[in-house]
Structure 1
Amino acid sequence: MKDLGELKYFLGIEFVRSNSGVAMHQRKYALQLISEIGLSGAKTAGTHIDNMKLTSRHYDEQTGQNQEEPLTDQVTYQKLIRKLLYLNMTRPDISFSVQTLNQFLHQPKKSHMDAALGVVKYIKRQPGQGISLSSNCSSEITAFCDADWDACPLIRKYWIFD
């Protein structure tokens, strides 16, 4: 066994230690993703997905609405979503958008690819954003939930609040 010293970079995640805790980010990975996609010169986006109504092709066929053609290159979309899922480890702010786009992997449309590129433009705004783990240990856990407690007895059963 060999001591390699303090952890600085592991599996694309950079770790920065300070007196206040540990910060984790994937800045290098995010910049590489932006460059690979070809959005280095593009403007940044302020939000992940701009009020887009994303539907599956099956839904479109059933309702007869929005008959948008599927992407000709589905592999590019699938690779992009896979990379965004990996980036999601240190960027919880994109988790909803990426999980929503992940639902359309089998038959993506142009609107799905546009939304995925919008997420990349949002990441470009702050590529070094990540997670900060505080060294100030506190035994108190704060959680928020918007569930209707009276309508959900199972949630009440498993969550105990003082």
Structure 2
Amino acid sequence: MPSDSRLSRMLHVLIHMERHRGPVTSDVIARMLNTNPVVVRRTMSGLKDAGYLHSEKGHGGGWSLARPLDAITLRDIHEALGSPRVFAIGLSDDDPRCLVERAVNAALAEAMDTAEQQLLVRFAEVTIGALAAEVIPGMDAAGAPRPG
């Protein structure tokens, strides 16, 4: 099963958006992420529905932040993306009557549930603003070094 990189990609986009002047189009974001603008609009619409983004149509339009990044946590974005599974590890269901399979699945499920809860607690403690503050001061909004 491929990993779901939407959380890291959206955190990346949101930090760039904070440093960008004015709305950012789906085309610009798509080029940044090397994806299709339709995929960007679909993903961003979930963040808009959750109240983290605004969108403006037409010339000069695009996506903009609806809240400061200090008011948005990693968990907020994780949930706005539909709370994707945090583990790609799956349980076996070859023979649900097998006692060994059931014991293995129970142990794995308990461990993964505990780990996921701890991860989500940590996600709730970290704001995107804190991540943005870690960006190297000599960089521009596109991540390129500033001249000088």
Confirm or deny a common fold (TM above 0.5): no
Greater RCO (CA < 8 Å, at least 6 residues apart): 1
TM-score normalised to structure 2 length: 0.25
State which structure, 1 or 2, has the greater radius of gyration over its C-alpha atoms: 1
TM-score normalised to structure 1 length: 0.24
- Structure (1 or 2) with the greater helix fraction: 2
